[in-house]
Every structure is written in C-alpha cells, then in structure tokens.
C-alpha cells in the first residue's frame, strides 16, 4: 500500500513539474495550476488511447526516415536512423533491457509531439566526446578519497590562493579545466558567453589595475550574465558544487538550474539594506508588498536549501520592517508609491486635520528605527573595516535583540493599527492603538525579566503615543478648551450648545467608549452629562472599554475639563489675559509632569528589585550604576578616568539625593537605560499620571466651587429657594399666604394673578427687595375633577424663581418642580392650621343663640345643644393637635434638620457634579419625607382627608348650628377617628420596622393624641 502511495506521490510530483515546465505557471496555489493538475490527472487516468505497439512505432520511425529521404534531407535521414537505433539500444533509467516497450513509448511521445521535422534546420550536435571528457575526471582523486592529509592551520593551499589573487591569465584555464565542477555545471554556450565576458575584461587595463578592480569593485551579480567571481576552490567553500555534483551523480535525470553565485558578504549587505528599508534589492524581492527570496541565488559554501531557509527567516523580519516603514511613510505623507485603494489616507490627508495619536506613534517608531539603523550602520562599518570576520550568523546574532524587538513592534502594529478596518473613526483608532499598547505592556510585564527589553521598548512607545491624549487633556483641564480637530479623543464637544446655556453641563460632551469584548470596535456614544458619563464609565468597566489607562481618572478629567471651561467663561469678563499667559508660561504641561514623575520613579524603581537581593549586591549594583552616571558626566568635561568615576560614585552614594541633583533637569525618558523595568505598570501610572490629573481636578473644581459660591452667590440662591418654597422666611411668607386665606374665608375670589403677585411682591419686597423681581407666582390649570374637595382649592398655585446662569445648572426647573410640590403641601397644612387657629368660641355661641331663637319651643333640644358645643370644642382640639403635630413634624423634624445637613454638604462639595447630586438628593429626601412619593400615597391621602375634614369643620363652625345637621358631627368624629387610627397604625408599623426613623416623632405625637380619645 505504502509502495503504491509512494508511486502516486512521485507521479504527482512529476506531473507538477511538467505543468511548471510546459505552462510556466509556477505557483501551485494558482487556480490555473490547479485546473491544469486536474486536467492532466483525468487525462492520464481516463483516456481512450490504445497501448503502445512497438511495431507500429517502428513503422512510424521508418516512415519518418522515408519522408526525410523523399525530401532529400539525406543528412537528417541518416542522423534520424542512427539516433533512433542508438536510443532503442540504450539503457533507460528505470527499465531493464533495450528495445523495450518503454523505449517505444518514449519515442511515441516525441513522435506525437513532432512538428514538421522536415522543415526544421537540424544539425546533430557532437555529444559523445563531451561525455567521455567528463568521465575522465577522477573525482576520487580530486576529493582525496581515502587519503588522510594534515591540512594545517590554513586549509587553502597557498598555491591556489596566490594564483587566484595574483594573476588574471591563470584564471581562465584554471576554472575551466582544473575545476571539473565548473565545467560540468555550465552548459556549452553559456561557457562561451563567460569566455567572451572574460575576454572583454581583459581590455580593462593592466593586470595590476584589474587586480585592484577585483578587490575593490563588487562583481555585478545583480546584472544578468555577470561574470563569475573567482573564489577558493577548497572543498569547504564549494559545498554547493559538491552537493550539485552529488545530485548529478545519483540522479541521471537531474538538470541543474542556472544559479547566480554571490558571496556571503554580499548576502550580509543585502540583509542590512533590507533591514534598513531599502526596497530595490537583488536577493530579496518585493512582490505585491511581500518580500520573497530569490530562489536562484547561491553562496558557494552552503547548499541552496540551507541558504534559502536562512534568508527566508531574514525576509520575514524584512517584511515586518517593510510594513512598519510603509506605515511611517503613510502617516508622514512621505510615501512615494501610490497606496492601495484600501488605505485612502493620502486622499484624506489634504483636507483633514492631522491625526496626532498616529503621528506620535509613528514618531516613536521612527525614533526606534534610528537606533536600529545605527546598529546596522555599525555592522556595515565592521564589514568595511575588515578587522573581524563578519558572517551571516554573527550578524544575525548581533541583531537578535533588535529583531526580537521588531517582532514585538510588528505584532503591536498589526493588532493596533493594521487590523482596524479602513473607515473607522479616529477616536476608535486612537483608543484601540493605546489599548493595544497598554495591554501589550501588561502582558509582557507579567512575563518578568524574560521580556524586560520588550517592556521597556513598548513603554517608551506608549509614553510617546499617549502624548497627544495627555496634551488634549492638559489643554482642556487647564484652559477649558477641548482642542481635538481630528476627533481622536474619547470625549467630544457638542458644538451646538453654547457654554452659557443651562444645558451646558449636561449635554455638551459625548463620551465614546470602545467595547473590546465585542468582536470589533463598537461605539457606545451617549450625550452624557458629567454624572451620567461617569456612571456609564462605571457600568462599562466590566467589559474592557475605551482608553483603559484613563479610566480611573476619567471622571475627574471630565469634571475638571467642564469646570475649567465654565470657569474660563465666567472669568472672561473680569480677568486680565496678560496675567494668565504669564502664569501659563511658567506652568509645566501635564505631559512634562508625567515624564518627570516617570523618570524619577524609574530611577528609584531601579533599586527596588535589589531589595530582594542581598544588600551587598544592592550596593554593588548601585555603585556600578553610579559609576556609569558619573563617568558620563565626567566625559562631558572630557575626563576619561574610570577610577575617578568609581571614587566619585562612592562619594555620591552616601548622599541619597544624588539622583535628583545630578539628573533632575532633563525631561526626555532615557531610552538607553534599557535595564529600566516598569514593573507593575499600572502602579507606575497610578503614581506618575493620576496624581497630576487629580491635583488639577481639585484645583479646577475647587476654583469653580469657590467662584460659584463667592462671586455667583450659589449658597444665597439655595437659601432663597428654601426661604420661599419651603417657607423658611416665615414672616414674609405668612404675609403672603394669610392674605390668600383671608380671601378664601371671606368667600372672595383669590385666583387672580395680579392679586397674587401684588401680595407676593408686597410681602417679599419689604424684607428681601432683591428677590422680589425674581419671584413670581402662577396659576396652573388643574383638572377640575380634582377640585371638588376644599383642600384641593389651592392646587395649581406655582411659585417661580428666576435663577440666573450659571446657578441654574444647579437649581434647574426640574428642581423647582419638586420645590413647588413641597410648597403646595406646606400651604395646605398652613391653611388647615390657619383655619383652625382663627376659629372663635363666640362665633359658635352666637350661632347657638340664633338657633335657640329659632328652636325656642323645643326645650328638650337645649340640653343636647350644649353637649354638641362641647363635642365641637373637643373635636376642634383633637384636630388642632393633629394638624400641629403634622406641622411640627414637617417644619422642624424634616425641613429644618434636612436643610442643615444639606448646608453642611454644600460646604464640602468638591465639584459641580457633586453639588448637583447633593442638591438632588436633598430634594428627593424632603420629597420622600413629606410623604409625596407615589409609593406612600395612601398615607398622604389619609392626611389630606384629615386636612379636608379640618376645612369642612371650620366652615361649619363659622356657619354655626342649624346650618347643618347634627348628625354630621358624628360623621366628622368617626371620619377623623378612622383616619387617625389608620395613620397611627401605619406609622407605628413603619417605625417598628425601622425603615423610617424620622417618622417616629410624628407617630408618637399622633399616638398621644389618639390615646386621649
């Protein structure tokens, strides 16, 4: 079975080669190639041709002979006859015997393929002689088979090398006759060619000149048919020929390809050029943006397979360099080639603002490539100087760390840049790139010392790439100006909302978060207010999102930025720009601060791993480090004395603050100190970046708070809201609401805007003249179905206070709505209280007398009336107790104490967002505690019932006896009792559960009233 499959495989291989030879399609993946394979297979397997018949073929051979004779092509005919005879009697590679069916088969193929043989010019070429000549060469002797000779330290015999380097005349015969290899390898006409070129070389000039040229001018190996350069003929440096000879000897059908011989130095040079980004090379070729290795290049001392595998390894790195270089060119706009249609960045570049994150990334890459190219140049210099032998392996060894770094760079580039679909928004591109770098650093960092180099490279890359972001942040939180023309920052300004609009705080910025867990980038844009943005950030933190390194301080950045913008707008009128710009010049940018901190941290960080090592080693390490630093500083003064440096180092080591003293000035991260590890990268960020942002955040927001409180009287406005809406300005508001209540009592219409506003202005204007213009009252249309009960008479009364910008960011109209709800409740309670308080005993008595007169005859009724008066009085007191308890509870327990807490929190508030939150929380608290929440509406209904009862009661009291039926007293008593009992039960339950501790006082006082009954 295996035998069969081997045959099959051989067959397959041969068919492939046949297709390559005949059709010229080389790529096996090519669709055409595949089709040809299928075609060939099916034809070979399923054909309808007869098997070969030897006689028939012989007849055809004779026929051809006759035909040639007829055409009087006697020479040809003679050759034909002789050749076919010879062939039929000659052995075949895998077939025993002569004149076999195979012989006829092969001849049949040729005959089928023959194309009018009589018309072609044919002269038989001499060949037997040639073959005999080849056989003469005694390889065994040449290779010194069986002989053991001590070659000495220099395996190249001096004789050879002398002749080779010395004289040109000896070269030609030497390479032709003594080196059998060369003769064998070169086809006849090609040899003629080389002969010609060699002869032309003769004309170059004197032998010395030629020798000089041979040494100093590189052979044009890249030109077709270039002359072969001469090289040592020693066995070791002729491996490729030896191997070829071996193949030739073992396989009669082996046909050597035409190869181009180069030297190893040339290969090294091309390698170095490839690495430095040269595109037009000979050994490496760029095909469709892919770097391939030419397959007809050989060096004499390696087999072509071996060389090829090494070169392909190099080409892979060349590919990475090429790709990175292309990206650099694209971004810098330096690209000379037309770009593929996929990346249309050139077309865009003209009109669009520069994408700074990519530019920074490219700048970092470029910086890296400068050092890489320096190294390449050094190697090239070594080759030129010829002090040491430079081999390909040595070069690869020397480049190994760089190659590893390029691999890392390419990997990061691929995931961070190349894989992003072409029409992605800049913000997504930027954050994806930063995230990729960030993740890569953390990934490599966790590998520990094994990837120190990669981490330090990536870190420097990241530090550079992050620069635009930090500059945007800096500009925003220092000048309040979100300058981001390329829209690459994760926060974008909505242009259509002006700063001095009350929606500014909520609707100005859009936060983009990039979800990475979802296959590709997804944009979760949201018109986010400061608060909701941070909420969103918190929610999104579960899925790895947006620019991860900014996430911990994102809220602060947003706050600081918005505060700063607001602040700038507030200050625009009154502060002088000169002062600001002067201050700005002294200020260090956020990025500079960040770099400084990173530097100082890394410098200290260097020592931290030493803690685990013994102390002695630690001091030794730092001593060495010191020494290098000191030596560098000494060199500045042109002093080269290592001993002096060591002693200085010892001296300085005793001073702990040496580092700051010596290297505090420069800001650029020292890339040469590769030993720097940024262990625990996130810790580095935490200590180097976040504090600066936080500091700025505290400054900005503190400033804004200060300005709002001081210059814009925020606290006073909050107080005013409490004064009027929550009736804290008791006397003022008393004047206002009693005027209304009196009108109601007198049964006059009070629902006129002019009347209400006059009353309000009068009341407020006396004590707070500045507020009287801001305050006004409206009557809102209320559903008439709700107005049936007397307690709902006041519904629709709405207070409005015009809050100026920017305080209206805090006290919004939504807030005023809540204030108004509380205001209405308070008015209702006040009204109930007022109507009970203003009742007079004599009114009731007077009414009684009147009724006595009417009911004079009914003596029996006298006694119950007195009793009824007593009952009325009792009920009044009970109602008063209830209303007063409620009033006390709301006014003192709730409004006053909550208000005190609120004032305290306002003092503490760090930023505007927090302040807004505090205000909202305050409002919702009083809203809750005034039982205005939907959930506890049944309690409020019971209270409203009682208040309604109070109003009815006072109405009846004033109307006097007789105006209503006696039974209604019973009704009122029982209604009140029911409501009272219900409330006591409910409140007690709530208090027992402990969920509403503030209700306790109300519950207790109501209970006390209840037990009296």
Partner 1 sequence: TMANAGNINAVRETMDVLLEISRLLNTGLDMESLSICVRLCEQGINPEALSSVIKELRKASEGLKVRINKYCLL
Supply the minimum distance, in Å, between the C-beta of residue 259 and partner 1. 15
Q: Does the footprint of partner 1 cover residue 24 (CB under 8 A)?
A: yes
Strands (E), 302-382: none
Q: Does the footprint of partner 1 cover residue 92 (CB under 8 A)?
A: yes
How many of the chain's residues bind partner 1 (CB under 8 A)?
Answer: 68
DSSP annotation of 415 reads I
Q: CB-based burial of residue 858 (10 Å sphere; 0-12 exposed, 13-18 middle, 19+ buried)?
A: exposed
Q: Does the footprint of partner 1 cover residue 10 (CB under 8 A)?
A: yes
Q: Does the footprint of partner 1 cover residue 391 (CB under 8 A)?
A: no
* Distances, alpha carbon 259 to alpha carbons 186, 221, 597, 806, in Å: 10, 11, 59, 83
* Distances, alpha carbon 305 to alpha carbons 97, 129, 189, 244, 908, in Å: 36, 33, 27, 12, 77
Pairing of strands 260-262, 297-299: parallel
676 vs 603: CA distance, rounded Å: 8
Using CB under 8 A, pick the residue from 1, 2, 29, 94 that binds partner 1.
94
879 vs 877: CA distance, rounded Å: 5
Q: Does the footprint of partner 1 cover residue 955 (CB under 8 A)?
A: no
Q: Does the footprint of partner 1 cover residue 109 (CB under 8 A)?
A: yes
Q: Does the footprint of partner 1 cover residue 32 (CB under 8 A)?
A: yes
> Please, how many CA atoms are within 13 Å of residue 782, restricted to the half-sphere of its CB?
15
Q: Does the footprint of partner 1 cover residue 253 (CB under 8 A)?
A: yes
Nearer to partner 1, 120 or 628 (CB): 120
For residue 797, what is the enclosing H or E element? strand 797-801
Nearer to partner 1, 75 or 667 (CB): 75
Q: Does the footprint of partner 1 cover residue 900 (CB under 8 A)?
A: no
Using CB under 8 A, pick the residue from 9, 22, 59, 647 that binds partner 1.
22
Contact region with partner 1 (CB under 8 A), list: 37-45, 167-175, 667-675, 778-786:
37-45
Beta bridge partners of 800: 776
975 vs 891: CA distance, rounded Å: 26
381 vs 798: CA distance, rounded Å: 89
Supply the minimum distance, in Å, between the C-beta of residue 53 and partner 1. 11
Nearer to partner 1, 8 or 901 (CB): 8
Supply the minimum distance, in Å, between the C-beta of residue 220 and partner 1. 27
Using CB under 8 A, pick the residue from 5, 250, 351, 754 that binds partner 1.
250
Contact region with partner 1 (CB under 8 A), list: 247-255, 614-622, 755-763, 798-806:
247-255
3-state secondary structure of 523: strand
Q: Does the footprint of partner 1 cover residue 155 (CB under 8 A)?
A: no
192 vs 171: CA distance, rounded Å: 15
> Contact letters (x/-) for partner 1, 611-650, by CB under 8 A?
----------------------------------------
Supply the minimum distance, in Å, between the C-beta of residue 287 and partner 1. 16
In degrees rounded to 5, what are phi and psi of residue 547? Answer: -80, 105
Nearer to partner 1, 100 or 161 (CB): 100
Residues 245, 181 contacting (CB under 8 angstroms):
yes
Nearer to partner 1, 251 or 352 (CB): 251
Question: What spatial distance separates the first Cα and last Cα of the chain, rounded to whole Å?
Answer: 112
Beta bridge partners of 962: none
Supply the minimum distance, in Å, between the C-beta of residue 62 and partner 1. 14
- Number of neighbours of residue 95 by Cβ within 10 angstroms: 13
Q: Does the footprint of partner 1 cover residue 84 (CB under 8 A)?
A: yes
Q: Does the footprint of partner 1 cover residue 145 (CB under 8 A)?
A: no
Nearer to partner 1, 112 or 154 (CB): 112
Residues in 658-677 at the binding interface with partner 1, rule: CB under 8 A: none
- Number of neighbours of residue 984 by Cβ within 10 angstroms: 19
Q: Does the footprint of partner 1 cover residue 34 (CB under 8 A)?
A: no
Supply the minimum distance, in Å, between the C-beta of residue 548 and partner 1. 49
Q: CB-based burial of residue 69 (10 Å sphere; 0-12 exposed, 13-18 middle, 19+ buried)?
A: middle
Supply the minimum distance, in Å, between the C-beta of residue 148 and partner 1. 24
Q: Using alpha carbons, select from 431, 703, 689 the residue that is nearest to residue 552.
A: 689
Nearer to partner 1, 95 or 813 (CB): 95
Supply the minimum distance, in Å, between the C-beta of residue 55 and partner 1. 15
Supply the minimum distance, in Å, between the C-beta of residue 23 and partner 1. 4
Sign of the CA dihedral with 93 first, then 94, 97, and 102 last: negative
Q: Does the footprint of partner 1 cover residue 5 (CB under 8 A)?
A: no
329 vs 588: CA distance, rounded Å: 32
Nearer to partner 1, 18 or 1008 (CB): 18
Q: Does the footprint of partner 1 cover residue 93 (CB under 8 A)?
A: yes
Q: Does the footprint of partner 1 cover residue 33 (CB under 8 A)?
A: no
Nearer to partner 1, 44 or 841 (CB): 44
Q: Does the footprint of partner 1 cover residue 114 (CB under 8 A)?
A: yes
Contact region with partner 1 (CB under 8 A), list: 33-41, 640-648, 693-701, 957-965:
33-41
Q: Does the footprint of partner 1 cover residue 37 (CB under 8 A)?
A: no
* Distances, alpha carbon 384 to alpha carbons 266, 377, 393, in Å: 12, 10, 17
Residue whose token pair is 């207010």: 529
Omega within 30 of 0 (cis) for the link into 145: no
Q: Does the footprint of partner 1 cover residue 87 (CB under 8 A)?
A: yes
504 vs 437: CA distance, rounded Å: 34
Q: Does the footprint of partner 1 cover residue 105 (CB under 8 A)?
A: yes
* Distances, alpha carbon 49 to alpha carbons 15, 82, 287, 890, in Å: 19, 29, 43, 112
Contact region with partner 1 (CB under 8 A), list: 81-89, 205-213, 786-794, 940-948:
81-89
Using CB under 8 A, pick the residue from 2, 5, 129, 135 that binds partner 1.
135
Beta bridge partners of 523: 514
Q: Does the footprint of partner 1 cover residue 295 (CB under 8 A)?
A: no
Q: Does the footprint of partner 1 cover residue 127 (CB under 8 A)?
A: yes
Supply the minimum distance, in Å, between the C-beta of residue 295 and partner 1. 15
Using CB under 8 A, pick the residue from 1, 31, 128, 781 that binds partner 1.
128
> Please, how many CA atoms are within 13 Å of residue 527, restricted to the half-sphere of its CB?
10
Q: Does the footprint of partner 1 cover residue 500 (CB under 8 A)?
A: no
Residues in 48-77 at the binding interface with partner 1, rule: CB under 8 A: 49-52, 64, 76
Q: Does the footprint of partner 1 cover residue 14 (CB under 8 A)?
A: yes
3-state secondary structure of 666: coil
Q: CB-based burial of residue 280 (10 Å sphere; 0-12 exposed, 13-18 middle, 19+ buried)?
A: exposed
Q: Using alpha carbons, select from 956, 1000, 950, 984 the residue that is nearest to residue 828.
A: 950
Using CB under 8 A, pick the residue from 21, 287, 636, 781 that binds partner 1.
21
Residues 69, 77 contacting (CB under 8 angstroms):
yes
Q: Does the footprint of partner 1 cover residue 453 (CB under 8 A)?
A: no
Residue whose token pair is 């509403």: 996
Nearer to partner 1, 186 or 325 (CB): 186
Q: Could you give the angle at the alpha carbon of 164 between the alpha carbons of 158 and 165, nearest 5°?
A: 95
Q: Does the footprint of partner 1 cover residue 29 (CB under 8 A)?
A: no
Residues 471, 588 contacting (CB under 8 angstroms):
no
831 vs 474: CA distance, rounded Å: 57
In this structure, the chain runs to a length of 1013
3-state secondary structure of 57: helix
Using CB under 8 A, pick the residue from 102, 211, 226, 610 that binds partner 1.
102
Contact region with partner 1 (CB under 8 A), list: 125-133, 548-556, 753-761, 808-816:
125-133
Which chain residues interact with partner 1 by CB under 8 A? Answer: 7, 10-11, 14-15, 17-19, 21-25, 32, 36, 39-40, 43-44, 47, 49-52, 64, 76, 79-80, 83-84, 86-87, 90-96, 102, 105-117, 119-120, 122, 124-125, 127-128, 131, 135, 249-253, 255
């Amino acid at each position: 079975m295996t035998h069969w499959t081997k045959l099959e495989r051989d067959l397959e291989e041969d068919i492939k080669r046949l297709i390559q030879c005949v059709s010229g399609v080389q790529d096996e993946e090519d669709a055409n190639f595949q089709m040809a394979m299928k075609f060939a297979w099916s034809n070979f397997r399923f054909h309808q041709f007869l098997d070969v018949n030897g006689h028939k073929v012989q007849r055809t051979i004779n026929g051809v002979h006759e035909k040639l004779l007829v055409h009087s092509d006697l020479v040809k005919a003679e050759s034909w006859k002789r050749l076919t005879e010879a062939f039929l009697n000659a052995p075949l590679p895998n077939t025993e015997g002569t004149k076999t069916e195979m012989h006829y088969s092969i001849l049949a193929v040729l005959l089928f393929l023959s194309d009018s043989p009589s018309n072609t010019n044919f002269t038989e070429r001499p060949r037997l002689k040639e073959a005999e000549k080849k056989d003469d060469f005694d390889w065994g002797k040449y290779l010194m088979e069986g002989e053991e000779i001590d070659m000495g330290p220099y395996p190249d015999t001096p004789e050879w090398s002398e002749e080779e380097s010395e004289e040109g005349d000896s070269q030609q015969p030497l390479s032709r006759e003594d080196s059998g290899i060369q003769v064998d390898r070169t086809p006849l006409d090609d040899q003629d060619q080389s002969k010609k070129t060699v002869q032309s070389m003769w004309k170059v000039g004197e032998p010395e000149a030629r020798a000089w040229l041979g040494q100093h001018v590189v052979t044009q190996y890249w030109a077709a048919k270039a002359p072969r350069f001469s090289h040592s003929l020693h066995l070791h440096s002729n491996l490729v020929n030896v191997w070829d000879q071996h193949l030739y000897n073992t396989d009669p059908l082996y046909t050597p390809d035409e190869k181009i011989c180069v030297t190893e130095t040339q290969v090294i040079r091309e390698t170095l050029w490839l690495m430095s980004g040269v595109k037009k090379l000979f050994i490496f070729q760029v095909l469709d943006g892919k770097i391939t290795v030419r397959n007809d290049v050989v060096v004499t001392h390696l087999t072509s397979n071996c060389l090829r595998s090494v070169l392909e390894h190099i080409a892979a790195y060349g590919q990475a360099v090429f790709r990175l270089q292309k990206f650099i060119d694209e971004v810098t706009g330096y690209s000379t080639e037309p770009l593929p249609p996929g990346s249309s960045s050139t077309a865009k570049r003209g009109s669009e603002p520069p994408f700074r994150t990519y530019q920074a990334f490219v700048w970092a890459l470029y910086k890296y490539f400068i050092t890489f190219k320096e190294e390449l140049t050094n190697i090239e210099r070594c080759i030129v100087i010829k002090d040491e032998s430079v081999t390909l392996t040595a070069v690869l060894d020397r480049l190994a760390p760089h190659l590893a770094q390029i691999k890392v760079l390419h990997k990061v580039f691929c995931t961070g840049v190349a894989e992003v679909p072409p029409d992605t928004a800049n913000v997504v591109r930027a954050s994806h790139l930063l995230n990729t770098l960030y993740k890569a650093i953390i990934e490599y960092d966790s590998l520990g010392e094994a990837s120190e180099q990669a981490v330090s490279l990536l870190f420097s890359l990241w530090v550079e790439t992050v620069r635009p972001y930090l500059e945007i942040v800096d500009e925003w939180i220092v000048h309040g100006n979100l300058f981001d023309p390329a829209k690459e920052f994760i926060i974008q300004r909505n242009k259509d909302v002006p700063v001095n609009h009350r929606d500014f705080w909520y609707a100005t910025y859009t936060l983009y978060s990039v979800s990475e867990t979802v296959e590709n980038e997804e944009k979760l844009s949201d018109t986010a207010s400061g608060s909701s943005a941070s909420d969103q950030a918190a929610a999104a933190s579960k899925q790895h999102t947006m620019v991860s390194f900014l996430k911990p301080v994102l809220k602060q950045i947003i706050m600081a930025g918005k505060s700063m913008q607001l602040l700038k707008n507030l200050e625009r009128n009154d502060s002088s720009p000169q002062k600001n710009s002067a201050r700005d010049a002294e200020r260090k940018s956020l990025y500079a601060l960040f770099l400084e901190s990173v530097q100082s941290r890394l410098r200290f960080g260097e020592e931290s791993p030493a803690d685990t090592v013994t102390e002695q080693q630690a001091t030794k390490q730092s001593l060495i480090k010191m020494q290098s630093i000191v030596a560098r500083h000494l060199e500045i003064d042109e002093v080269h004395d290592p001993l002096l440096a060591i002693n200085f180092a010892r001296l300085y080591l005793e001073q702990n603050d040496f580092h700051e003293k010596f290297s505090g000035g420069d800001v650029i991260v020292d890339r040469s100190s590769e030993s720097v590890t940024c262990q625990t990268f996130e810790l580095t960020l935490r200590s180097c970046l976040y504090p600066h942002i936080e500091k700025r955040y505290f400054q900005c927001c503190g400033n804004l708070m200060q300005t709002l409180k001081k210059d814009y009287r925020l606290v006073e406005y909050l107080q005013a809201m409490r004064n009027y809406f929550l009736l804290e300005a008791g006397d003022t508001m008393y004047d206002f609401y009693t005027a209304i209540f009196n009108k109601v009592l007198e049964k006059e219409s009070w629902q006129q805007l002019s009347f209400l506003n006059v009353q309000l202005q009068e009341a407020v204007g006396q004590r707070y003249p500045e507020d009287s213009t801001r305050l006004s009252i409206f009557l809102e249309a209320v559903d008439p179905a709700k107005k049936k009960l007397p307690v709902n008479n006041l519904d629709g009364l709405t207070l409005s206070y015009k809050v100026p910008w920017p305080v209206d960011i805090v006290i919004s109209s939504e807030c005023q709505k809540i204030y108004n709800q509380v205001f209405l409740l308070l008015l209702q309670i006040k009204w109930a209280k007022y109507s009970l308080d203003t009742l007079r005993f004599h009114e009731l008595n007077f009414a009684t007398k009147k009724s006595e007169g009417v009911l004079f005859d009914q003596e029996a009724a006298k006694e119950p009336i007195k009793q009824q008066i007593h009952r009325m009085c009792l009920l009044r007191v009970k109602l008063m107790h209830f209303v007063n308890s409620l009033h006390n509870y709301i006014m003192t327990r709730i409004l006053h104490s909550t208000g005190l807490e609120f004032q305290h929190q306002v003092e503490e508030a760090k930023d505007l967002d927090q302040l807004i939150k505090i205000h909202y929380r305050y409002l919702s608290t009083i809203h809750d505690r005034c039982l205005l929440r939907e959930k506890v509406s049944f309690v409020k209904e019971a209270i409203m019932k009682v208040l309604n009862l109070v109003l009815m009661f006072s109405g009846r009291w004033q109307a006097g006896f007789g105006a209503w039926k006696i039974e209604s007293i019973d009704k009122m008593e029982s209604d009140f009792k029911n409501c009272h009992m219900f409330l006591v039960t409910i409140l007690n339950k709530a208090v027992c559960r402990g969920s509403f501790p503030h209700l306790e006082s109300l519950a207790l006082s109501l209970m006390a009233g209840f037990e009296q009954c």
